[in-house]
Amino acid sequence: MHSTLPPQQEHSEPPRTAPHAPPPGGRRPGRVAALDGLRLCAALMVVAYHWMAFGSGAWGAPARAVFPTAHVPASYGWLGVQLFFLISGFVICMSGWGRGLGEFAASRAARLLPAYWFAVLLVSLVVRRWPTVNSAPALRDVAVNLTMLQDPLGVEPVDGVYWTLWIEVRFYLLFALVVAAGLTYRRVLAFCGLWACAALIARATGDDLLRELLLPYDCWYFLAGIAFYLMHRFGPNALLWLITGGSLLIAQHDLVAAQARAESHMGHRVPHWPTPAAARALLPRDVRRGSGLDTAARLALAVHRRGAHLSALSAPRARRLGAHQARRRPGAGARPAARPGGRDADGRLAGARGDRAPAGPQGPRRTAAGDGRSPGRLTARTVRPTDKSWAHGHRTVMKGHG
């Protein structure tokens, strides 16, 4: 069967389903329209926050006095930054799939640098001409800002909103490690698990270097975005919801402290409950209800069904081995009888469908060797699961052929 994956990656991912299959001709999937809408919402949230809530002094009066009603919803606009991080996790995983490291780096540079250079130069000219809020930056500072490395070099940014770019760059560098090895479902899951564990260690130890490298307070949005992309590509399952739910539960706890910092910049206070509620709204229903035990139960059920799938795959081989032994030693291949309600040698329930053969005028309607029409051979047919059940394993259906 033809596949666009290299031979060594043929079985490294869950089976694709029809809604998520790659388009014909090997073309990459197009843009996701919902992401453009989310980007617009996030951008408008940030603009509203800086325009109607942030205490910049540009209005000559507090923002809550200039916008007595609109400043309240605008005070939560800083959450647009976290929404951008979540979108980045989705988009970067999507753009890196099927690409090598060089192609991935070139696509990121082509996407970000031209618009960023234009913004830096435009803001520098505007601030130099109308220094209302910020003072005009020195030319040497503008030159460093063009590299997008002003934060690690300790150079004053041309515009304070560029602080998020250094966080994004560090995420790109971390994810590039997986892109260099080749993105597969298992490798991306391993990356998520290792990054989450390393971030927790960085927070527990308080090491400054680890905190700079591993983003222990911002990584949860990227991880949730990556998990959302895996759901988009392969279909949702309990493990991906567990990653998403765990990431957002940790993030909503940190958002309350972030709101306190935002209030120090705004100069006024607003209710705190909408902030964690915004993160909880993205969680699966069972996690929002409480402890998330239903997610754990679904994960355990997936593991159980995976084991049942492996047993079903090995059953035909065991029968062939038993028949071979029976030919060598008469009676050795006999199948022991099972008690009613118990299990036979293949692990199937006695009296289950396919094991009972009720008699009738035409003889047995169904036997273990065929479907009643002729004593045909027993074969296994693998049915492709739906996009929401691939984590439960393939289902093997026994079908008799005449």
Cα distance between residue 278 and residue 270, in whole Å: 15
pLDDT of residue 285: 52
Question: Which sequence spans correspond to the domains of the chain?
Answer: 30-296, 297-327+364-402
pTM (2 decimals)? 0.64
Annotate 57-80 with DSSP letters as a single string.
STTSS-HHHHSTTTHHHHTTTTHH
pLDDT average, residue stretch 47-67: 84
Position 378 pLDDT exceeds 50? no
What digits encode the pLDDT tens for the residues 210-221? 999 999 999 999
What digits encode the pLDDT tens for the residues 305-318? 544 444 444 445 44
What digits encode the pLDDT tens for the residues 286-312? 444 433 334 433 444 444 454 444 444
Cα distance between residue 118 and residue 38, in whole Å: 23
pLDDT of residue 282: 66
Mean pLDDT for all residues in the chain: 73
Environment class of residue 315 by beta-carbon count within 10 Å: exposed (0-12), middle (13-18) or buried (19+)? middle
What digits encode the pLDDT tens for the residues 346-355? 444 444 444 4
| Phi, psi angle pair for 138, to nearest 5° | -70, 150
Q: Provide the pLDDT confidence category of residue 199 given band limits of 50, 70 and 90.
A: very high
Cα distance between residue 203 and residue 206, in whole Å: 5
